[in-house]
């Protein structure tokens, strides 16, 4: 069975007495959506119906249920993978998708990161320290304002400058104009650098697949090699199709609309990595959001640990981080990560260039200390 | 401001003392993603930053916060609408998106259902009673098996026969083969009917936008006028783009992956309707799922109530319903709804045709009683 089954682990917040029944119902819900007695075909009963592998009662009273789902129900489609893992069960507030593993053939089909940590290091020329990243804010600005900011950030030596994830194709700074202006500003700063470093600009994709393909074509015309994308906004099928068809582009995944019902290590970790995220942004503990330290560490592990021969993806803790926390962040995540600080640097206003340089220096210093 | 702002209502499960601060943080998170003091541009401060309109403490201790978001941040994209409404805030388990209203220009742009209740009645020829619907199950079957079932259901007089939402492009019954076989079986049954009735087959779309467009073209070649789609799996941008470009096709929306953090009346009601769902399937109370009666009624109201001149969409209660509950369902939702029963009829196995006819008869009888 191992070769043909997806193993999904769910947390059921239900009484111990009810856990076995609920797990069995879940296995049916996420496969044939029928009572077992209504499944008349012997092959379907044996090979397609979801199977409960085991139940583990937890100290908090919840139960972990491991369920084996038939890989054939997913076919080749990443959207269908999400549908079979959590489509109907997402409607149940007491069910959480906690972990996912896929058979080798499915791992190879989806293919994981095309660049991964090693590829991002080659792209940026950064070795032995975390990458630095910041965001172009706020939405509502003009393309010229964002390009000026991008130039400032690039001259300060940031490795990656991404669009804020709220950027789409708004009238104040339409995608094409913003892309051209920001890419030019970053290229100009790169040309003037003498330290061998190089900044990458990552514009934010939006709209349905067709529109995103147009945006990727525009990005290529402007020499842009990385994009920001929110897989749960555009749909996992779109995300994977774009990754598959643009092997030269690095994909920085944003957690927007990921919700709180799929455990971050499973969704932002395993599933985003499986479908091709080279780096994954997540709200670090102690920031504006509420992921716990344990969740953050499990997520970083899911992105970097050996898994099915897929490349490792770069953990990118974010969400209200500050320069003051850089030593702690580097101690926490090591050097194979990317640190993303946005608002805390922009708040400095006219001192923003100086603060950006402090960020870059702090990361180098913290990495040297751990070396 | 009314003409240019989206009004989003969030439930914050936070202490009363902290509600004002949290609401202000939410308004910033869902707009500029910056502390207010970092927003230097006067126009952005006035026109783009989200504004807290009011707070209402609830009896359960939670607070409802109405927040005005600038429509310009959404532009024309339904995916970006989701991103601005709930992108980052979805990561916070104590925040719920409870209600959404949009300015008239945005309502007109997204356009709502292209057929709606009246259009679905014209398509099926059903008046004065709820429509009947069932699903082709289980996945893992062959196309021939599903076509045989579709023929049985059509001869029993069902109005709409949809693919189970777990159907995608699986090897056991690839989309094209399943579509052709099921459409032919239903057409044959329709040709033999003498009661003037007519069954519609709705295949399930899967994959990214480009693949769905191919599937819609195949559907048109096979004379199919309705499709099943899960907007939260494929992404709202893809859903809306397909609706916009296929005005002749009716869209039956499935709640897969909708989660429990956006209130069903807001997400499955307002937002699915806004983006073009003609009918919306939802898990009725008392079935396999956990929506409360109040949630179901609010959702039906959100689909049918006059709103911005958009067509009404057909509520489709489902999820473990039975023929025995038909009178209660009709009393509950009236005649402007669609009743979807799947597994409870298929469990009858060799008596499935008889049970389907009982379903059809029960709906007509219950409707006659309420008339």
User: In Å, how far from its chain's centre is CA B31?
Assistant: 26
Q: What is the pLDDT of residue A197?
A: 83
Do the interacting molecules here have an ipTM over 0.95? Answer: yes
Residue A1 has pLDDT above 70, yes or no: no
Tens digit of each residue's pLDDT (9 = 90 or more) over B283-342: 999 988 779 999 999 999 999 999 999 999 999 999 989 999 999 999 999 999 999 999
Which helix H or strand E contains A149, and what residues bound it? helix A143-155
Percent of chain B whose pLDDT exceeds 90: 92
**B171 vs chain A: nearest CA distance in angstroms?**
7
- Give the nearest chain A residue to B26 (CA atoms): A288
Residue B344 has pLDDT above 90, yes or no: no
d(CA A183, CA A176): 11
Closest CA to A5 of A77, A90, A100, A95: A100
| CB distance A321 to A329 below 8 Å | yes
Note whether A233 contacts B235, CB cutoff 8 Å: yes
pLDDT band at residue A349, thresholds of 50, 70 and 90?
confident
d(CA B283, CA B278): 17
Q: Which residues contact B79 (CB under 8 A, 6 or more apart)?
A: A168, A206, A207, A208, A233, A234, B235, B236, B237, B238
**A122 vs chain B: nearest CA distance in angstroms?**
30
Note whether A77 contacts B235, CB cutoff 8 Å: no
Tens digit of each residue's pLDDT (9 = 90 or more) over A330-345: 999 999 999 999 988 8
Q: What is the mean pLDDT of chain A?
A: 96
The beta-strand segments (E) located in A167-271 are 200-202, 226-229, 250-253
pLDDT band at residue B349, thresholds of 50, 70 and 90?
confident
d(CA A186, CA A209): 27
Q: What is the pLDDT of residue A2?
A: 53
| CB distance A119 to A64 below 8 Å | no
Q: What is the pLDDT of residue B163?
A: 98
Q: Of A79, A135, A347, which is closest to B234 when you measure between CB atoms?
A: A79
Note whether B258 contacts A31, CB cutoff 8 Å: no
Domains detected in chain A: 2-110 (3.30.70.150), 116-370 (3.20.20.110)
Q: Residue A45: is it exposed, middle or buried by C-beta count within 10 angstroms (0-12/13-18/19+)?
A: middle
Check whether the bond before A332 is cis (ω within 30° of 0).
Answer: no
Segment B105-122 shows an average pLDDT of: 97
Q: What is the pLDDT of residue B347?
A: 87
Pairing outcome for strands A63-70 and A51-57? antiparallel
Q: Of B75, B87, B138, which is closest to A48 when you measure between CB atoms?
A: B138
Q: What is the pLDDT of residue A191?
A: 96
- Give the nearest chain A residue to B74 (CA atoms): A170
Residue B2 has pLDDT above 80, yes or no: no
d(CA A55, CA A53): 7
Q: What is the pLDDT of residue A227?
A: 98
Q: What is the pLDDT of residue B91?
A: 95
Residue B357 has pLDDT above 70, yes or no: yes
Size of interface A-B (CB pairs under 8 A): 303
d(CA A269, CA A260): 14
Q: What is the pLDDT of residue B231?
A: 98
Structure tokens of A291?
């992921």
Structure tokens of A97?
């998708």
- Give the nearest chain B residue to A36 (CA atoms): B347
Tens digit of each residue's pLDDT (9 = 90 or more) over B39-72: 999 999 999 999 999 999 999 999 999 999 999 9
Segment A61-74 shows an average pLDDT of: 97
Structure tokens of B90?
């979805």
Interface test with A, best of B51, B137, B177, B207 (most A CBs within 10 A): B207
Q: Of A49, A82, A346, which is closest to B233 when you measure between CB atoms?
A: A82
**B111 vs chain A: nearest CA distance in angstroms?**
17
Phi, psi of A171, rounded to the nearest 5 degrees: -65, -30
pLDDT band at residue A290, thresholds of 50, 70 and 90?
confident
Q: What is the pLDDT of residue B320?
A: 86
Q: What is the mean pLDDT of chain B?
A: 96
Interface test with B, best of A43, A209, A356 (most B CBs within 10 A): A209
For residues B268, B271, B277, B280, the Cα torsion angle rounded to the nearest 10 degrees is 10
Note whether B33 contacts A137, CB cutoff 8 Å: yes
Residues on chain B touching A34 (C-beta within 8 angstroms)? 137-138, 342-343, 346-347
Residues on chain A touching B139 (C-beta within 8 angstroms)? 31-33, 48, 73
Segment A237-264 shows an average pLDDT of: 97
């Amino acid at each position: 069975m191992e070769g043909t089954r997806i193993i999904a682990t769910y947390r059921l917040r239900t009484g111990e007495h009810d856990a076995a029944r609920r797990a069995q119902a879940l296995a049916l819900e996420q496969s044939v959506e029928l009572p077992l007695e209504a499944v008349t075909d012997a092959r379907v009963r044996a090979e397609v119906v979801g199977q409960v592998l085991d139940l583990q009662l937890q100290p908090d009273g919840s139960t972990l249920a491991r369920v084996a789902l038939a890989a054939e129900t997913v076919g080749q489609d990443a959207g269908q993978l999400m549908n079979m893992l959590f489509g109907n069960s997402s409607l149940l507030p007491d069910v959480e998708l906690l972990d996912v593993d896929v058979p080798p053939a499915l791992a190879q089909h989806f293919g994981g990161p095309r660049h991964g940590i090693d590829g991002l290091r080659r792209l940026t020329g950064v070795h032995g320290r975390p990458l630095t990243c910041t965001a172009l804010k706020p939405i509502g600005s003009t393309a010229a304002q964002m390009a000026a900011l991008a130039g400032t950030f690039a001259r300060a030596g940031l490795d990656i400058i991404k669009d804020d994830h709220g950027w789409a194709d708004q009238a104040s700074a339409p995608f094409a104009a913003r892309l051209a202006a920001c890419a030019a500003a970053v290229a100009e700063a790169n040309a003037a650098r003498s330290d061998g470093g190089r900044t990458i600009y990552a514009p934010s994709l939006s709209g349905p697949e067709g529109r995103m393909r147009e945006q990727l074509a525009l990005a290529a015309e402007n020499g842009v090699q990385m994009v920001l994308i929110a897989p749960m906004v555009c749909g996992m099928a779109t995300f994977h199709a774009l990754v598959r068809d643009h092997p030269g582009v690095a994909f920085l995944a944003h957690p927007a609309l990921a919700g709180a019902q799929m455990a971050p290590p499973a969704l932002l970790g395993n599933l985003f990595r499986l479908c091709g995220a080279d780096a994954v942004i997540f709200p670090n503990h102690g920031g504006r959001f509420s992921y716990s330290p344990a969740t953050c560490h499990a997520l970083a592990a899911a992105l970097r640990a050996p898994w099915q021969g897929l490349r490792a993806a770069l953990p990118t803790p974010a969400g209200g981080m500050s320069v003051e926390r850089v030593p702690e962040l580097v101690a926490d995540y090591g050097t194979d990560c990317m640190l993303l600080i946005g608002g805390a640097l922009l708040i400095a206003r006219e001192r923003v260039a100086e603060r950006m340089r402090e960020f870059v220096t702090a990361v180098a210093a913290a990495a040297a200390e751990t070396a």
